[in-house]
Structure 1
Amino acid sequence: MVTALYELFFEREFIHDIGSSVQRIALSFLLAVAVAVPLGVLIGSFATVSALLNPLVSAFRYLPAPAFIPLLLMWFGTGDEQKIALLFLGVIWFLVTLISDVVSNVHKDYIETSKTLGANRRLILWTVVVPASLPGIVDVCRQMLAVSWTYLVIAEIVAATDGIGAMMMRARRFVHVDDIMAGIIVIGLLGLLFDLLFRGIYWAAFPYLRKTT
């Protein structure tokens, strides 16, 4: 496997495949966060919005993202758009649900105190609920990014010419088990690297949550 990794990086331009996969993961996840955070905050903050959207979101959580591949191929073709859409669908519904749970669990005393001081609903949302929820939202995003990586190979096995998953499918065709194992190891290391990045962002953004010893 070590030999396979050497050959992949220095003889077969594997770094280009890694770059393509990272780009797909990053773009799809940023899109999912951009949609999920506002929806999750609204669902977790307002009972009316929750009653309207929560059943729909809950229903979509039970639909496996790979089941949408035929539709995505018809709508977006075989390019990057189809792969990014699949990665997006793999996390969006769970991300909305988890963020709404974080927002709904904001301590009620904060909200009641704000009401007592004369704050309206909009002011409470932006100055109390959102700041109190941010650490939990960042942590949820960190956890769901790991799920996004688990969909990578599925997204890249359909008509892909580059990416880690595409390399692994080519290796399967020629029974190169060492290349497949090397791809698995690289995905795991990339996932660990992104997890550490999120942890760094978390502790830099919320130093007051650091445990003192």
Structure 2
Amino acid sequence: MKELNKRTFHIISIGTWMVLLFLWWFLTNTGMIESKLVPSPQETWGTFIDILKNGYNGTTLLGQLSISFYRMFIALFYAVLSAIPLGLLSGYFLPFQAVVDSVVQFYRPLPPLAYYTLLILWLGIDETSKISLLFLAAFAPIYVACVSAVSRVKKDYILSGKSLGANNRQIFFSIIFPACLPQIFTGIRTAVGVAYTTLIAAEMVAATSGIGWMVIDASRYLKSDVMFVGIIIMGITGVLLDLILKKIESIVVFWEGK
């Protein structure tokens, strides 16, 4: 596979988006696509400025985003706090894996919205059911990544540690955990993506606030410009979250790729 330097890669990426923006502008301004279906870029920008100044349905844009991110970050915090140790222990101790893994593998393929109604029934329609749904959605990718990471640790590293007199605790924290960090971050990045999409779906089903709710509420009144603003904001914030995680990973796992 031919390699590209970073400069060329960024130029191609920017060029792709410029072409897409031009097509969007051309198709909407020439009347080839009705504005009710796809608003023009300038109409979308005007709507964004209006929502930024006046908010939507009595809540500022920052307020809508804050509500969504509050739900997601609380769920991710608990998912990371529990999935990493459980995943590492499951990969390191097979009896422990026999207990936990089957439960995770059972619910992991289920669409989150399939059991969301049960969570609402058990926990109510408030924030608890939404955060629990996001927690379950984020837990599985991190757990699976941790189990897989432990299985890929080279046996030579463990044997070398034992030959130098290291006990199981020292081997786990000094060899296994650092070796698993790259895959752990991959699992966290995957979990953030899954949790974000699940969050938007949950807000569209049962919520009265949040960026996902804003999009579904606008769709009821055929406000395609508001829908486009919400979708674009979701996409941009999703990319920014991933870039932040990549930056944190490059600082924590500084030896990766060297």
TM-score interval w.r.t. the shorter chain? over 0.9
Which residue number in structure 2 is paired with residue 176 of structure 1?
A: 223
> SS state of the match for residue 166, structure 2?
coil
Structure 2 unmatched ranges of 5 or more: 1-43
Provide the aligned length of Structure 1 versus Structure 2. Answer: 211
Whichever residue aligns with residue 57 of structure 1, its letter is V
Which residue number in structure 2 is paired with residue 126 of structure 1?
A: 173
- Residues in 1 aligned to 2:142 and 2:186: alpha-carbon distance in whole angstroms: 11
**Match status 1:72 vs 2:119:** yes
* Per-residue deviation, residues 8-42 of structure 1 (Å, max 9, x unmatched): 21111111101111111111111111111011001
Native 8 Å contact 1:37 1:96 kept in 2: yes
Offset of residue 157 of structure 1: 2.0
Offset of residue 95 of structure 1: 2.0
* Per-residue deviation, residues 31-64 of structure 1 (Å, max 9, x unmatched): 1111110110011111222233222221221222
1:5 to 37, 45, 48: 48
- Residues in 2 aligned to 1:57 and 1:170: alpha-carbon distance in whole angstroms: 34
Greater radius of gyration (CA) = 2
1:29 to 76, 82, 86: 76
Whichever residue aligns with residue 3 of structure 1, its letter is G
- Residues in 2 aligned to 1:191 and 1:70: alpha-carbon distance in whole angstroms: 26
Offset of residue 191 of structure 1: 0.7
RMSD of aligned alpha carbons: 1.5
- Residues in 1 aligned to 2:142 and 2:93: alpha-carbon distance in whole angstroms: 18
TM-score (norm 2): 0.77
Report percent identity of matched pairs: 35
Structure 1 unmatched ranges of 5 or more: none
1:17 to 28, 48, 64: 64
Q: Which has the higher contact order (CA 8 A, sep 6+)?
A: 1
* Per-residue deviation, residues 144-171 of structure 1 (Å, max 9, x unmatched): 2112111122111234221001111210
2:155 to 105, 108, 111: 108
Native 8 Å contact 1:42 1:49 kept in 2: yes
Native 8 Å contact 2:144 2:187 kept in 1: no
Between 130-139 and 13-22, report the one with greater CA deviation.
130-139
1:190 to 208, 218, 237: 237
2:103 to 56, 62, 67: 56
* Per-residue deviation, residues 58-102 of structure 1 (Å, max 9, x unmatched): 122122211112211122211111111111122212321121101
- Residues in 2 aligned to 1:38 and 1:76: alpha-carbon distance in whole angstroms: 26
> Which 4+ residue blocks in structure 1 deviate beyond 6 angstroms?
none
1:156 to 186, 203, 220: 203
- Residues in 2 aligned to 1:60 and 1:143: alpha-carbon distance in whole angstroms: 17
TM-score (norm 1): 0.93
Whichever residue aligns with residue 50 of structure 2, its letter is E
